[in-house]
């Protein structure tokens, strides 16, 4: 895979956060937070529909960015 291809953000989009999982991951890397706090601070899932929380958790785990509450 080329460097350019890796730049493409094809991660799922969370409407409630108005952000892609990739953007949420980048916020989490800049300021690591436990998952429940992440949902409120880095994402809008805590006050949103919550429908992508399970998927977001899996995404963060897969990228070594998941912190247990
Ligand atoms: S779409 Fe992500 S919490 Fe609603």
Cβ–ligand 1 contact at 49 (below 6 Å): yes
Task: Judge whether 6 lies within some domain.
Answer: no
Structural domains of the chain, count: 1
Task: Judge whether 4 lies within some domain.
Answer: no
Residues in the chain, how many? 69
Cα 2 to ligand 1 centroid, rounded to whole Å: 31
User: Structure tokens of 25?
Assistant: 């991951």
Task: Judge whether 69 lies within some domain.
Answer: no
The reported pTM is 0.89
Domain that holds residue 25: 12-62
Task: Judge whether 7 lies within some domain.
Answer: no
What confidence tens digit (pLDDT) does each residue in 38-60 have? 999 999 999 999 999 999 999 99
Measured CA distances, 25 to 22, 43, 50 (Å): 5, 10, 17
Task: Judge whether 54 lies within some domain.
Answer: yes
Cβ–ligand 1 contact at 52 (below 6 Å): yes
Whether pLDDT at 68 is above 70:
yes
């Amino acid at each position: 895979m080329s460097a350019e291809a890796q730049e493409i953000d094809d991660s799922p989009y969370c409407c409630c956060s108005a952000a892609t999982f990739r953007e949420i991951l980048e916020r989490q890397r800049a300021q690591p937070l436990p998952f429940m706090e992440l949902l409120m601070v880095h994402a809008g899932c805590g006050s949103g529909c919550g429908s992508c929380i399970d998927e977001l958790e899996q995404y963060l785990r897969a990228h070594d960015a998941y912190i247990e509450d």
